[in-house]
Amino acid sequence: MKDMRGKTVMITGASRGIGAAAARAFADEGANVVLLARSRESITDLAGEIGDQALAVPCDVSRYWEVEAAVTAAVETFGGLDVLINNAGVIEPISHLAEADPEAWGHVIDINLKGVFHGMRAAMPGMVDRGGGTIITISSGAAHNALEGWSHYCSSKAGAAMLTMCLHKEGADKGIRAMGLSPGTVATEMQHEIKASGLNPVSKLDWSDHIPADWPAKALVWMCSAEADEYLGEEISLRDKGIRARLGLSA
């Protein structure tokens, strides 16, 4: 694993699931962690659990100025920002296209796609000024495969995957390490929402089919190391048995 001591990692959607697991994993490696989420109470509790190396910043990633303020807070508190994990994402309301509420559909795009752009836009200039940094976007199989009831989620994740490739094109020569992580189905609250919808094959999966949140968290820490440089500009999938073996992940 990369020595993360003295490094600062910002994680969006840090109140639960992959985000919270990643916060703990990076903190265990010695990093400062900046926790972003709309739920003030949840990230404050998590920051209290982690200790002085954690900063909780209530933030709605769909609002650029809030993300920009969070980056400023990270730099003022810890002296810089080395890693951004674009993790925040929602899937509700799940619905067929012909029945979708246009405002609710658009709000998912605001979080899942525009939120990723907002993170990149706010973090990249400072990273470039300091010689570089790592920006990782949590992707999904839904970025590459259409699923019934998920038009908003599939479209936003596909856009976020393309944003990550654009970031690599524009930032690689400036020291920006850009990658995506497609974790597969993870045992988080989102899976309960998917299950309740009853739509498409993912809702039919058994809870035991989902991987634990600490698997993608461990992958994210590894992706900040030079060992993952062969994947720059690409997307790593935790469905890949070779990747799982490389990271020592097994059921």
Please tell me the distance from the alpha carbon of residue 163 to that of residue 165, in angstroms, as a whole number: 5
The token duo for 213 is 């949140």
Q: If DSSP codes are grouped into helix, strand and coil, which group holds residue 57?
A: strand
Please tell me the distance from the alpha carbon of residue 92 to that of residue 176, in angstroms, as a whole number: 32
Query: Does the active-site annotation cover 64?
Result: no
Q: Please say whether the beta carbons of 34 and 82 come within 8 A.
A: no
Please tell me the distance from the alpha carbon of residue 53 to that of residue 167, in angstroms, as a whole number: 28
DSSP 29-49: TT-EEEEEES-HHHHHHHHHH
Handedness of CA 180, 150, 12, 60 (dihedral sign): positive
Which among 26, 78, 117, 153 is annotated as catalytic? Answer: 153
User: Which residues, in sequence order, are CB contacts of 74 under 8 Å at separation 6+?
Assistant: 8, 10, 34, 55, 57, 80, 81
Give catalytic residue positions.
Answer: 153
